[in-house]
Amino acid sequence: MSLLEVKDLQVRVEEREILHGLSLTVNPGEVHAIMGPNGSGKSTLSHVIAGKPGYEVTGGQILFKGEDLLEMAPNERAAKGVFLAFQYPVEIPGVTTWNFLHAALNAQRKARGEDEISSPAFLKKVREVAKSLNIPQDMLKRGVNVGFSGGEKKRNEILQMALFEPAVCILDEMDSGLDIDALRIAADGVNALRSPERAMVVITHYQRLLNYILPDFVHVMSKGRVVKSGGKELALELEESGYAQFEDAA
């Protein structure tokens, strides 16, 4: 069974249709890249998969392991194994990263009928992951993303991904605002999480990221549709000729 199936998805925001029948099938172990110019609907797709309020799905469906994802609350989706690394991670003053991650992980475990994780076990786990991503311990004591640089925020997203061990990871423009060193650390973090059971959907505007995270499939989005799909060579093609050729196809 496919892990994630988006079928003929139509989505409106404030009376305006943004996605006009988008389809995408993701199987375990696969890495899909979604590329497209600004405003083509990439973030909208990621938000609808994660369950952000404010989007009206007027047609189509999204199945996760065969279940209707659109019927689930965002937190249920997370507990089932859907993870979105945000393009713009929010800052949550007054809620320490540490507390937040512990509460979130336990909420997911509780939803799956698993035991809560104790503070010492959690501490050990977070420390290991943080170390591998070059995240200093004291960042975990601060408010979630408060005063973090762009790169630190993105690394915090990868940290959460590693901690929650989701089945599908959607990475929305994780390369934006990162210099080459930060990008490499983040990409290494993502690559370390690749596994035969886990799938990744890497959303990006630029081909650059795909030098570090090699995709199995590349989809080009334009104006709310997937206009072309292919292997990783499609990314290179785009790098050379740009998105213009697809604008007309949309």
Partner 1 sequence: MNVVAKTETGRALGDAFAVARDRLPGKGKIADQRRQAFEAYERSGLPHRRIEDWKYTDLRALMREVLPLAPAPDAAALGRAAAAIKLRAIDGVRRLVLVDGAFAPDLSDLGNLDKGLSIRPLREVLDAGEDALSAQAFASDTSNPMIALNGAMATDGVVIDVANGTVLAQPLHIVHVASGATPAAMFTRSLLRLGRDTGVTLVESYLAGEGAKAYQTHDGLIVAIGDNARLDHVRLVEDSVDAFNISSATVTLGAHAQFNTFGLTSGGHVSRYQLTVTCAGEGSNVETNGVNLINGKQHADTTLFMDHAVPHCASREIFRAVVDDRAHSVFQGRIIVRPDAQKTDAKMMTRALLLSDDAEADNKPELEIFADDVTCGHGATTGALDESLLFYMRARGLPEKEAQALLIQAFVGEAIETIASDALREVAIATAQRWLQARA
Ligand X SMILES: Nc1ncnc2c1ncn2[C@@H]1O[C@H](COP(=O)(O)OP(=O)(O)O)[C@@H](O)[C@H]1O
Binding site for Mg ion (CB under 5 A): 42-43, 87
Comparing CB distances to partner 1, the nearer of 153 and 225 is 153
The contact mask relative to partner 1 for 149-188 (x = CB under 8 A, - = no) is: -----------x---x------------------------
Contacts (CB under 8 A) with partner 1, residues 32-61: 50-53
Considering only 14, 15, 138, 240, the residue that binds ligand X (CB under 6 A) is: 14
Instruction: Indicate which of ligand X, partner 1, Mg ion, none lies near residue 214 (CB less than 5 to 8 Å, by partner kind).
Output: none
Residue 119 makes contact with partner 1 by CB under 8 A: no
Comparing CB distances to Mg ion, the nearer of 87 and 156 is 87
Residue 89 makes contact with ligand X by CB under 6 A: no
Residue whose structure tokens are 């549709």: 225
Residue 98 makes contact with partner 1 by CB under 8 A: no
The two beta strands, 31-35 and 199-204, are parallel
Phi, psi at residue 218, to the nearest 5°? -125, 130
Comparing CB distances to ligand X, the nearer of 135 and 220 is 220
The two beta strands, 56-64 and 199-204, are unpaired
Considering only 89, 189, 215, 224, the residue that binds partner 1 (CB under 8 A) is: 89
Contacts (CB under 6 A) with ligand X, residues 192-221: none
Instruction: Indicate which of ligand X, partner 1, Mg ion, none lies near residue 44 (CB less than 5 to 8 Å, by partner kind).
Output: ligand X
Q: Hey, what's the torsion of the CAs at 34, 38, 44, 50, to 10 degrees?
A: 60
Considering only 2, 7, 12, 13, the residue that binds ligand X (CB under 6 A) is: 13
Considering only 6, 22, 26, 44, the residue that binds ligand X (CB under 6 A) is: 44
Q: How far is the CB of 224 from ligand X (least distance, A)?
A: 7
Considering only 11, 30, 35, 41, the residue that binds ligand X (CB under 6 A) is: 41
Contact of 220 with 238, CB cutoff 8 Å: yes
Binding site for partner 1 (CB under 8 A): 50-53, 73-75, 77-79, 84, 86, 89-90, 92-95, 99-101, 103-105, 107-108, 111, 143, 160, 164
